[in-house]
Structure 1
Amino acid sequence: MTNDYDVVISGAGLAGCTAAILFARRGVRVALLERRSDPHAYKPLCTHSITANAHPVLDELGLIPELEEAGALHNDARWYTRWGWIEPKSAPQGPALPHGYNIRRSTLDPLIRSRAARTPGVDLLTGHRVTGLVREAGRTVGVRTSTPQGDREIRARLVVGADGKDSAVAKFAEVPTKVHENTRFGYLAHFRDLPLRGGVGQTWFLEPDMAYAFPNDDGVTVLAVLPDKKRLPAFREDLEGSFLEFVRALPDAPPIDSAERITKFIGTVDYPLVTRDPTAPGIALVGDAALTGDPLWGVGCGWAFQSAQWLVEAVAPAAAGRGDLDRALVGYGRRHRRRLRGHQAMAVDFAKARPFNPGERLVFSAAARDESMARHMYMFAARLIGPVRFLNPAALAKAAAVNIRYRGAGVPPAR
């Protein structure tokens, strides 16, 4: 078999472009396919936030100067709970808290796609929609595509699905998939001149409803509401009125009535969480194609960057013909599951639109009362530590001690 490329990637979003750039820098020949023809196309339904876990990937890509020049903001955060606000701050005399970036996808997607297109070894092929897979001897060896010039077959050692939660690559390969119900729905819009306390992102845990406001580039704030589906009939009757009413009722609500809404309300009434096997013979999945989390946590962009980096680190030599590709894919799949399945399990459980469970009450209440616990929660929210470390015995013991001290001071517990 003669390969057209070493790797063909379906989807020129964050994960696909990251994988293409990093593969090509390691001498791998890449075809980067994008079904849309517009080079400025972007994903509108997104938190528009890159968690701090992706900072090393952005640094490796060399994107940080461009992001900051484009107006990306450090995604500092504060969270409202029934015990008050959790406001993480750096430790006295300690290093600054790690950060990611808030930047609109309308800015970010064209930026990284342009970087990929300029990378030697990457062929960006727009207007190419994957319509099937080429298979030989039980493994995938390429893709079939529909293009403005007609149908085309592209062969490669490895096919990468970076084509989102409804991945065509995963569907055609019949990759095992688990779909988990999300019992919240969500709508968002962009507002200009919407001041936020401290100028930082804010999230409201209302048990079970959720909301967030993230400041972005060009003075634009992304404001989203994620209520329990029990509230859906009222929202459907009057989307704008229900959205505004929901925001006005938030504790310390941002002054939405004085801000300018610059986009329509967009959202979804059904956004399930999706977990797939990240590999199959001749195939790897990255980003939302491998694992689609709950948008309320704002982790999708960060995991798109990370999973693409993990894949390249695991398989680049084999993809270029210098190793055992199947063995390399096993390594990528193992790392992906080890790093993300615990996070996904917690998100799946929380997507049931339930109040906090006892462990969450313990940690969240302590984080609202103690700076070190607030930093601990920040590290988890930034996905710099996993669930095991977040809820380890030492952290739970400290949270219990904080709450005992607080109640011992005569302050009644919040209900």
Structure 2
Amino acid sequence: MTKPESAGYDYDVVISGSGLAGSAAAILLARRGVRVALLERRSDPEAYKVLCTHSITANAHPVLDGLGLVPALEKAGAMSNAARWYTRWGWIEPKAAPGGPELPHGYNIRRSVLDPLIRSRAVETPGVEVLLGHRVTGLVREAGRTVGVRASTPQGEREIRARLVVGADGKDSAVAKLAGVPARVHENARFGYLAHFRNLPLPGGIGQTWFLEPDMAYAFPNDDGVTVLAVLPDKKRLPAFREDLEGSFLEFVRALPEAPPIDSAERITKIIGTVDHPLHSRRPTAPGVALIGDAALTSDPLWGVGCGWALQTAQWLAEAVAPAVTGRGDLARSLAAYARRHRRRLSGHQYLAADYAKARPFNPMERLMFSAAARDASLARHMYLFAARLIGPLRFLNPVALAKALAVNVKHRGAAVPPARPSHTGA
């Protein structure tokens, strides 16, 4: 069989973007005998993504384990991302069943620690060549398919040929745009700001999320005693919020039920955020091209799923295409298999996220499930599995779960209603 070298390829795969998705894909492909060029437009090996929830959902724990990163993450101080969620019916507090196994978990860890860590592992992996300061400026095409990239480098323009080009370059993916892969865009009717605090105690030492209908907030403990605190209000509040960003941020947090004591904590970063964060969905493949992580799908940041899906899509791609990119299979069929898996596993989650991004109150189905989960331990665990993306929407809303939720709420009909929460709906 013809070897890639004699077919005129510099590598089997070129990956644009050495963040979480790109580095994970490079490692997993190289372990399968694939020769990978991992391109990073920035020249600093310590570069990292700044605007992030800094949370890896439990669905990605097997990927982290397979990469051999779990011991290093725990040594770096990553926090298990258990959580509790505030609703108008009270707190949903998922806990392991008595005598049962612990709930699956992922990790909260700052990207300033995570990104350089996984990139360094890619550097150490035989078969991976990390090329810093390489920004993709064009695609090389032959016979209707992509066969490489053109990149701007510190030494000038360079052409790099490969059987497959992978876009791991974020929601504004240059690879996707150059390949002509359009994005389906869903408006996000919330804006978001976050800051990092040190010495900010949280009940139980675990993450807190507030569903304020339509406003949102969360506080996630991270490594080194740092907590990421974010607010995601309805965009109707944006003009007044921006008049005094710091004052509005602090006032919003102080008004939360069981509010974190920010006035006694140390804020160690600026308040940063975005006023426009639409949800992007793209077809994850084109001839000779695959998209992973945010390049293929960018969800609503309030769910904290981006890091987990970056790792999962990297794994799915590596499993699907490794034989084909080394000349031992049909690449088009392999890419089609990856696209099917991507669509099957993520499209339902994205549909629900896009609908909730309209900044609306809970719909009847959500009211049923959230209220019951605040009242019943087994339904709280069921909701946790969905929030951790370990089950999909169909399993989350299966007839047995719906029937149980209805029975729980009927049983609690007439029970005392918790005190009204402070309003976040005013300007």
Instruction: Assess same fold via TM > 0.5.
Output: yes
The reply on whether 1:42 has 2:70 as its aligned counterpart is: no
Distance 1:342 1:414, change over 3 A: farther
Q: What is the aligned-residue identity percentage?
A: 82
> Is 2:339 the partner of 1:340?
no
Q: Is residue 77–residue 87 contact of structure 1 (8 Å, CA) maintained in 2? A: yes
Report the residue type matching 1:237 in the other structure. E
Q: Which residue identity lines up with residue 19 of structure 2 in the other structure?
A: G
Which residue identity lines up with residue 303 of structure 1 in the other structure? W
Give 1:411's aligned residue. 416
Runs of 4+ in structure 1 displaced over 3 angstroms? 410-415
Deviations for 1:200-228, whole angstroms, at most 9, x for unmatched residues?
00000000000000000000000000000
- Paired residue secondary structure (1:407): coil
- Which residue in 2 is equivalent to 1:7? 13
Residue of 279, 285, 298 corresponding to 2:285: 279
TM-score, reference length from structure 1: 0.99
Match of 2:77 in 1: 71
What is the rounded CA distance, in whole Å, between the counterparts of 1:407 and 1:229 in structure 2? 34
Tell me, yes or no, if structure 1 residue 353 matches structure 2 residue 359.
yes
- TM-aligned CA deviation for residue 246 of structure 1: 0.2
Residue aligned with 2:213, SS: coil
1:91 aligned counterpart, secondary structure: coil
Q: How does 1:195-210 map to 2 (within 5 A)?
A: 195-210=201-216
Equivalent in the alignment of 2:425: none
**Structure 2 CA distance, aligned partners of 1:61 and 1:73?**
18
- Find the aligned partners of 1:135 and 1:414 in 2 and give their Cα distance: 63
Counterpart for residue 191 of structure 1: 197
Residue 103 of structure 2 is aligned to residue 94 of structure 1: no
Deviation at 1:393, TM superposition (A): 1.1
| 1:77-110: CA deviation from partner (whole Å, max 9, x where unpaired) | 0000000000000001110000000000000000
Partner residue, 1:124: 130
For structure 1, the 5+ residue unaligned runs are none
Q: Decide whether the 8 Å contact of 1:83 with 1:414 is kept in 2.
A: no
Task: Give deviations 1:92-150, integer Å, cap 9, x for gaps.
Answer: 11100000000000000000000000100000000000001000000000000000110
Q: What one-letter code is carried by the residue in structure 1 that aligns with 2:218?
A: Y
Q: Of 81, 93, 96, which residue of structure 1 is paired with 2:87?
A: 81
Q: Deviations over 1:148-194 (max 9, x none)?
A: 11000000000000000000000000113201100000000000000
Superposed CA RMSD in Å reads 1.0
CA displacement at 1:283 relative to structure 2: 0.4
Q: 2: CA distance between counterparts of 1:352 and 1:169? A: 29
Query: Structure 2 CA distance, aligned partners of 1:170 and 1:252?
Result: 44
Q: Give the alignment partner of residue 115 of structure 2, picking from 86, 109, 115.
A: 109
Among 252, 261, 272, the alignment partner of 1:255 is 261
Q: Contact 2:184 / 2:281 at 8 angstroms: preserved in 1? A: yes
Aligned residue in 2 for 1:305: 311
* Separation (CA, whole Å) in 1 of partners of 2:400 and 2:8: 56
Residue matched to 1:177? 183
1:332 match: secondary structure: helix
Q: Unpaired runs of 5+ in structure 2? A: 1-6, 421-427
Aligned partner letter, 2:118: I
Deviation at 1:235, TM superposition (A): 1.6
Q: Which amino acid aligns with 1:335?
A: R
- TM-superposed CA distance for 1:412, in Å, is 5.0
State the Cα distance separating 1:236 from its structure 2 match: 1.1
Following superposition, the deviation at residue 414 of structure 1 comes to 8.6
Give the match for residue 141 of structure 2. 135
* 1:22 and 2:16 correspond: no
Distance (Å, rounded) in 1 between the aligned partners of 2:418 and 2:372? 11
Deviation of the 1:411 alpha carbon: 3.5
Distance 2:246 2:137 in 1: 38
Tell me, yes or no, if the aligned pair for 2:10 and 2:161 is still in contact at 8 Å.
Answer: yes
The correspondence for 1:217, drawn from 211, 217, 223, is: 223
Q: CA deviation at 1:234?
A: 1.2
Indicate the SS of the match to 2:51: coil
Which of residues 362, 373, 388 is equivalent to 2:394? 388
The aligned amino acid for 2:135 is R
Give per-residue Cα distances to partners, 1:20-46, cap 9 Å, x unaligned. 000000000000000000000000100
How much has 1:413 moved relative to structure 2?
8.6
In structure 2, the partner of 1:330 is 336
For residue 109 of structure 2, what is the amino acid of its counterpart? I
Distance (whole Å) between structure 1 residues aligned to residue 39 and residue 252 of structure 2:
40
Is 1:151 the counterpart of 2:157? The answer is yes
What is the DSSP-based 3-state SS (H/G/I as helix, E as strand, rest coil) of the residue aligned with 2:44?
A: coil
Aligned residues: 414
SS in 2 for 1:353: coil
Tell me the CA shift for residue 339 of structure 1: 0.1
**In 1, Cα distance between the equivalents of 2:48 and 2:417?**
48
